[in-house]
């Protein structure tokens, strides 16, 4: 039986800290309009905190009959299914990994709060929010997240166009790789793969067609695997 003092001075502070930590993570996710938002993270953090509190209370009541670390390990295992549900596969590309990771992380925060590690839980939550905010800006500058693999081909009937096309493609470095070159009766066809985002691919097409008006540029997204 839980007495009033334990409820007011032990459980309620932990519940409050769990709500605070879950809200900080969830608010950042909500601002970015992610599928899992404020309510999800608060509930995950609270749920993990509750499981840990129950495990510790059972250990106190039945000394030696249970182990709170076993409860924590089951929380980690169980939250994996929720995280897996947040991951989707779209056109061969995995999405939702960050959402799944933050759900898993918030469960860990809840376990920490339930164990009474307030300072650690709050500190690591602030660090996580900082990572989500600051590294998102770094990723947006690198814009690697929006790049996809494309199969491209250029068909030209201009004499010497192949050399100009190859020279232009060479400027793109490792993101563009020539896979084939064929010539015949004044026509040349160059095949290559390109890892670009939508804007870069459009710029590449403009660059190719500017070499000669008598040039056809084709591209399609490559399938993974």
Task: Report the candidate in 111, 112, 135, 124 with the shortest Cα–Cα distance to residue 25.
Answer: 124
Domain positions in the chain:
4-142, 148-221
Q: With a cut of 70, say whether residue 64 has pLDDT above it.
A: no
Task: Report the candidate in 147, 140, 153 with the shortest Cα–Cα distance to residue 205.
Answer: 153
The residue that leads in pLDDT, 225 or 101, is: 101
- Residues 195-223 have pLDDT tens digits of 887 778 888 888 888 887 778 898 888 76
Residue pair 205/157 in contact (Cβ under 8 Å)? The answer is no
- Residues 153-203 have pLDDT tens digits of 998 887 778 888 888 888 888 889 999 988 877 788 999 998 887 778 888
Scanning the chain, the segments in alpha helix (DSSP H) are 4-6, 12-31, 38-61, 68-86, 97-114, 118-142, 161-170, 198-209
The CATH code of domain 148-221 reads 3.30.70.260
Q: With a cut of 70, say whether residue 66 has pLDDT above it.
A: no
């Amino acid at each position: 039986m839980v007495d009033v003092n334990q409820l007011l001075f032990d459980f309620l502070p932990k519940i409050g800290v769990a709500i605070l930590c879950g809200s900080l993570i969830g608010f950042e996710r909500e601002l970015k309009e992610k599928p899992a938002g404020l309510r999800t993270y608060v509930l995950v953090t609270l749920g993990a905190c509750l499981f840990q509190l129950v495990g510790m209370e059972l250990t106190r009541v039945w000394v030696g009959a249970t182990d709170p670390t076993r409860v924590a390990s089951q929380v980690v295992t169980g939250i994996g299914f929720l995280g897996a549900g947040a991951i989707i596969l779209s056109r061969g590309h995995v999405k939702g990994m960050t959402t799944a990771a933050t759900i898993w992380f918030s469960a860990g925060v809840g376990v920490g709060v339930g164990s009474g590690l307030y300072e650690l839980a709050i500190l690591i939550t602030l660090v996580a929010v900082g990572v989500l905010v600051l590294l998102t800006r770094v990723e947006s500058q690198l814009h690697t997240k929006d790049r996809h693999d494309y199969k491209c081909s250029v068909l030209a009937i201009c004499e010497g166009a192949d050399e100009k096309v190859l020279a232009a493609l060479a400027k793109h470095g490792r993101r563009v790789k020539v896979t084939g070159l064929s010539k015949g009766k004044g026509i040349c066809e160059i095949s290559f793969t390109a890892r670009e985002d939508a804007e870069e691919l459009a710029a590449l097409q403009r660059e190719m067609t500017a070499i000669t008006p008598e040039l056809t540029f084709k591209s399609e997204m490559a399938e993974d695997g």
